[in-house]
Each structure stands twice: as C-alpha cells, then as structure tokens.
Amino acid sequence: MGVSLRVEGLSLKKGYNLLIHNLNFTLKSGEAISLYGENGVGKTTLLRTLAGFLTPFAGAISAYENDVHIEPEIWQGRRIHFLGHHDALSPSRTVAQELKFHADYLGGAVAGIEMLNLTPLLDLETRYLSAGQKRRLSCAKLLMAKRSLWLLDEPMAPLDVDHRALLSGLMQAHLAAGGMIIAAVHDPLPFATRILKLERPTAKEREAASV
C-alpha cells in the first residue's frame, strides 16, 4: 500500500494576502507532482507548509502509511526532506565537514560524493562554492536523508545540463523505489505523474478570506 499524502481544502496566506484557496490533491508512492505557476503565486509557501514550517490558514494535510494515519510530528520530522531555493549550508564548513555533519545527524553514512562529482571540492569551504556546486552538495544530503517525500523548490535552477540530467535520474530512481516528489518548477518534469498549476485566488475568494 505504501505511503500517501492528502491535502484537503488547503488555503494559505502570506500576511493578509490569500495565496492559495481550497487546494485538494492526493500523492501516492511512486508519484511526482510538477508544481508551477507565475511568480508570487505561492509555490514556495505551499512547499514550506507541507514541510511543516508554516501553518495553513484553512484545510488539512495528512499522511498515511498502509492506510494508517501518521502523526504530523513523525511525518514532517522523519519522512520529508525539503530542498529550498537557497541551499542550507554552513559557510565555514568544508564540503567534507558538511557531508559528515549531515551523515552524523541522520545516523547514516556519507553518500553521493563520486556520483555528484564532489571529490575535487571536499576541502573547500562551502562559502566558496558556485550556486551549481552548492546545489550538488545539497543533492548529496538529499540522498543521505532517505526520506519518503522530497519537496524541491526549483531544484534544477543552478545546475548545468549534465547535472540536471543527473538529478533527473536521481529523482526517477527515488520514484522507482516508492518515493514521492513535489517539485516547484518552471518547466514540468517529463516524468511527473501529474501537473499542478497554481492560480491566484479570485477577488471574491480573497474578500471571503479577509472576513
């Protein structure tokens, strides 16, 4: 049966501004959603809400494993990995130290060094890495996390063509292993099982949410 995520009647605000109104979808093992829409429509806010960083204005987010409900603190803390638009790296650590820190935190082993061409960068502090190199390092952390649901915010943006193809392969392997992906993208992922376009709420919906 695997793991599934259900989003029901979800509405999100940023300050007093209604970004998303009454969003509904279900995501199951092996499925990927390409999330897109114009800038400012709420893609990042949705991902951060699914990750548990933000609280919905209305609606529910629930997760199930073999049809058994999983408590939010377990689901969000142990089953989700969020890769944001800005890579969360300590500027004073070397690449090797960053990888070891993350592996120790997760209780696992360092992974992805050769696959993501990080060997020449191991002794460099992360502050000196290019945007693409930082994203490759973050992808290694993604592999080490071994979480069911990957929430990815513009994952391909800083990568060159070869490394975009590599990340695409990693994402497809994650799906083949029963994982799930929701990715905010400019161009829909070719292997996505569904495309979800976010639209701005109507004036009537915004007015109702302000009451």
Does pTM surpass 0.85?
yes
Which long-range CB contacts under 8 A does 101-106 form with residues at least 24 apart? 102/141, 102/144, 103/144, 106/144, 106/145, 106/146
Instruction: Kindly report, residue by residue over 123-141, the tens digit of the pLDDT.
Output: 999 999 999 999 999 999 9
Per the CB < 8 A criterion, the answer to whether 202 and 22 are in contact is no
Q: How confident is the model at residue 186 (pLDDT cuts 50, 70, 90)?
A: confident
Does the structure show a pLDDT above 90 at 74? no
Please report the pLDDT score of residue 184 as a whole number: 96
Instruction: Kindly report, residue by residue over 4-18, the tens digit of the pLDDT.
Output: 999 999 999 998 899
Please report the pLDDT score of residue 96 as a whole number: 97
Please report the pLDDT score of residue 73 as a whole number: 79
- Map out the domains of the chain with their CATH numbers: 3-209 (3.40.50.300)
Q: Which residues are within 8 A (CB) of 136 and not within 5 positions of it... i.e. 6 or more apart? A: 116, 117, 118, 159, 163
Tracing tokens 């696959």 back to the chain, one arrives at 115
